[in-house]
Each structure stands twice: as structure tokens, then as C-alpha cells.
Structure 1
């Protein structure tokens, strides 16, 4: 069972590679335009005036909100007088940003809006740390376990109209895109000890799920640890949270991200990345975002350091759970 530290020095996945997602391309495009504008000594309003768009349009482009217009990117590249290599990179990113995400054709109607950004980014991460309080992490669920959750957790109309199979197919494809890729991320899964006892389905479903977790724990880049019920977690916040995930993208990639999910909603907190040459001016405006990101990250670190069973102890707990449901 791997216990390697998070590979913070690992290079990011290719920014314009074939596996780059729409969401990742949109964000990287915005960061590139922002840095080029800062290097040119222009404000957002000055760039907007030069390319005949509104200042909010430039702001949305740089923050990765919505789908960027290719003509806007082309005009910005011309106004910023970029070299050919940079121009080509910007246009590749713009082209990818126009394409749909993997889930949009088949699964868009059943995908909650708050989840779409996460689905568009998690396969780009080189490291994942996830904490789930009440259930087995979605990336680790077997279809039978997921099906039981859907039947008990959704209104009857949401699974009796043929969408149960669609939801299961989406979950399987998501798992394959993240953990099944040729170079999967190093993944640390923290789950509350209660998931080993909380009944989601009959014994055979629970046994299959626990057995699957034990098999996954043997993979070289997967660590599974359980948060002990008698451990003092960092305040009560962790025990009432829905789930928290940290995504790291590696050197030269997207800003690291923390995802915090509650009931029917989620919040995203990016690690602040200041424009080149504008660190001092941006510090005050980034203070709150910095605090939110760091606060959630510190919570994850404290859960690992103060409340978790070791990987070896967690494996023994899985063995006991398999026997319990046998």
C-alpha cells in the first residue's frame, strides 16, 4: 500500500495535450492572457479598448468564466504582440475551450451544476486528497453500491424514468477517466469509520464494496485511510462537512484547488496565483480567497495528522468489515 508523499514537484499534465479538458483549457487560456497583459503593462480596460470589447468581457476571459470567443482571443493575441509559438498555444487552448466536456453530450441533464467544474478538472490533477464523512467516496464506489444510493437518495421519478442506468454509466466513466488513466493521480482517500458500518444495501452489496476498497488499497498510487470515531477531529467542522477535496495540478499547471460540497451545493477555492509583476497590488484583494483556501487545506491536513488510522490499520478495518457482511 503506497504511502508516498504528495508529489508537489511533479510536472503538470500537458496544457495543450489531447487529454486537456474544456474547463482546464478555459482556465489556462485566461491565466495566459492575464500574464501577457500584465507583461505588456496594460490594464483590463486598456486591453478591452484595444480589442473593441467591454472590460467585463476581458475580466471573464481572464477568470475562465464561460466559453471564450475565438475572435476575442485572436484580437487579444494581436494587441499583445505575442510571438508565433505563444499565438499558436493560445489558439489551441481557445479551440479546446470551444469543445464540450466529456459529460455534456450524454450526461449533462443528470449532472448537477455545482459538480460540473470538478468533473472538468479532476482528471487533470496529478494529486487528489478527498475526505468523505458519510459514504464511500464516489470514485471508489462499485455500481451496486451506487445504485442503492440512487434508489434511496433520489426522488422516485429520478430513477424510475430510465435514468438509473445513465447515472451508473456516468459514475463508471468518471472513475475510469480519473483512476483508470494511464498515468493516474496519486490519490489519498479519507473516509469516516462509519462508512464501514453504515448500511447502503444488503450484505452482498456491502461485502462487494468493502472487498473493492481492499483491492484498491493495494494499487501503487492509492492510499485509503479511515477517520476514527473516537478521534478528536479539528473542531466540529470536519464532522459536519459533506466532502472536501484538494486537487493539485503540478508545476506549470492550473492553480491548486479545494472543493467543498454540502447539500445541493459546492464551493470552490483556488490557490491564489498573482499576475506576474503585480504581487503586491493583488495581495489585499486575494486575502479572503487565500484564507478560504488555506482554511480548508489546513482542515484536510489536520484530519490526516490527528484523526486517521494508518493505511495498515485501515486495511485491517476493511478486513473486519468484509467479515461483518459475510
Structure 2
């Protein structure tokens, strides 16, 4: 079987975690290969997501890497043996790969926590609000490219409506609520949608008011997805050049702390809902 040309975010993450375990065990790729009857090149391709491996191979490597975290091992086995192709694969030839990575990451999350200072979180945007944002992209997007992005964004939101949805917490600064992207009518519809989403039992909205306390911020969107075990958490940072996925323990600890402090600076859910309602009336 030839190597994968475009490993998914999940396949890449599996390789990253196996490499971390190997390096923590102080073993070389050649030594790891001997454990499963493979050569050094094969291990290198596994660790870069270009080759898959069987359940038994995952367990053999984890055992020889002295991994005693059974929950992590089971999660890695699930990542290695899953053969499902998510809905996002239909966009592989029409959208940048990172769009697909984000959708896959969200799909497998057990919980999500996001923070936005300027924009409404993508999973809470209306189609018209999203359209107004994509129309401002630099370089400019062609009409059909905008529609692909809107379609993809709306399909991502399906995780909030499934039978067993993840817990979703959004921390939004008041500035983002007062932005009139798309004009007053689009802005009011977006705020109404936020209020309705906040009524879902698994959705929590917290607003940081202009007159609130100081808080740390990364200056751009921060999405934190919780995996089946803490080692598989992922932080996603939005920037002008695209999104960046982060999985290092030190960085994940940092971004959890940032989210904690932003949440401390935010109003309680009920007070946040009241503020959204007042801003809607003013829009």
C-alpha cells in the first residue's frame, strides 16, 4: 500500500502521540520497527501519518514504550482502526486542508471551549453573518468559494444538534457582539441566534463586558477541544495566515489557563444573556 498523500488531522495526531511515547521511552525508530517487524522508514512514515497500523501493532508499541495509561492506549487504538470517512472529506478538493482538520477535530471532541474577542465563534454563526465575513477575505474569494466555506461552516455546526452533543462553552467579548458585520439586520439576526443557542442545555455563553476586569488574550480566536483523554486535547489558534493546531503539553496548559482567566472575567450565563438581549435592542 503506498503512503498517504494527505493524512488527516486524526492520522497525523496518532503518529505524533506514538512518536512522543517512543521518544519518552528513549528508543530509536529502528528499535521501534524491530518490535513490529518493520524498518526504520516504516516507523517514520507511521509517525508522520503517512502509514496506518493495526490494533495489535499499536498495543505492541505502547507496551514496549512502557505506556501504562490504558485510556490513552484505547484512544490510540480507536484512532488507528477507525475507517469512517467524515462528511468533511467531500470538501478535500475544494477547501484548504486546515478546514477539514478543524471539522474532524471538532467531530471527535468530547467537549469544546472557545474564546473570541472580535468575531462570533464559527459554530454559532448564521449563514449570512459568515457570508459577510468571507466577503472580506484577503485575497478576495470568488462567489463559489464563499459558498463552499459557508456550507462547510454550517455542516460543522451539526455537532451541537446531534443526539449526544459535546459540552460547548463560548467566551465572547462584548466587542464581537457589537460588530455589525453585514449590516444591522444581519447583526440582529446573529444576536437572536446566539440567544437561542444559549438555551440549549449543552451550550454555555459567557460575555466579557467592556467594563469588566482585565484578562489575558491571545489576540485572535482560540478554540480548545477536549479529547477522550487529556493527552489528546488540541488547541486551535486562528490567524490571518490560517489556523494552527497545537498539541504540546506546555502549550495546552498555557491555553487552558488563558481560557480559565477569560472565563473568570466574563459575566455569568444569565447576566451574559441579559447583555446580549440589551445589545440586540440597541442594534
Coarse TM-score class (shorter-chain normalised)? 0.7 to 0.9
- Other-structure match for 1:137: 121
Moved over 4 A (4+): 28-35, 40-43, 73-80, 89-95
In 2, Cα distance between equivalents of 1:197 and 1:170: 25
Name which structure has the greater RCO, CA cutoff 8 Å, separation 6+.
1
> Relative to 1, partners in 2 of residues 1:79 and 1:131: Cα closer, same or farther, differing over 3 Å?
closer
- Other-structure match for 1:173: 155
In 1, Cα distance between equivalents of 2:224 and 2:56: 35
- Other-structure match for 1:126: 110
What's the TM-score, normalizing by structure 2? 0.78
Give the conservation status (yes or no) of the 8 Å contact 2:109–2:225.
Answer: yes
- Other-structure match for 2:263: 304
- Other-structure match for 2:239: 262
The Cα shift of 1:79 comes to 7.4
What is the SS of the residue equivalent to 1:163? helix
In 2, Cα distance between equivalents of 1:49 and 1:127: 38
The Cα shift of 1:242 comes to 1.1
- Other-structure match for 1:163: 145
- Other-structure match for 1:96: 82
Give the conservation status (yes or no) of the 8 Å contact 2:116–2:176.
Answer: no
The Cα shift of 1:91 comes to 8.4
Give the conservation status (yes or no) of the 8 Å contact 2:180–2:186.
Answer: no
The counterpart of 1:292, out of the listed 251, 254, 257, is 251
Query: Any stretches of 5+ residues in structure 2 without a counterpart?
Result: 1-7, 64-74
- Other-structure match for 1:275: none
- Other-structure match for 1:68: 51
What is the SS of the residue equivalent to 1:223? strand
Q: Are 1:203 and 2:162 an aligned pair?
A: no
What's the TM-score, normalizing by structure 1? 0.69
The counterpart of 1:150, out of the listed 105, 112, 134, is 134
The Cα shift of 1:315 comes to 0.6
The Cα shift of 1:93 comes to 5.0
> Relative to 1, partners in 2 of residues 1:144 and 1:245: Cα closer, same or farther, differing over 3 Å?
same
Aligned residue pairs: how many?
Answer: 265
> Relative to 1, partners in 2 of residues 1:139 and 1:54: Cα closer, same or farther, differing over 3 Å?
same
The Cα shift of 1:257 comes to 1.9
In 1, Cα distance between equivalents of 2:210 and 2:226: 28
1:258-279 C-alpha deviation (Å, 9 max, x unpaired)? 2222221333332xxxxxxxxx
In 2, Cα distance between equivalents of 1:185 and 1:78: 28
Query: Any stretches of 5+ residues in structure 1 without a counterpart?
Result: 1-21, 83-88, 271-288
Q: CA RMSD in A?
A: 3.5
- Other-structure match for 1:324: 282
- Other-structure match for 2:71: none
Q: Are 1:228 and 2:209 an aligned pair?
A: yes
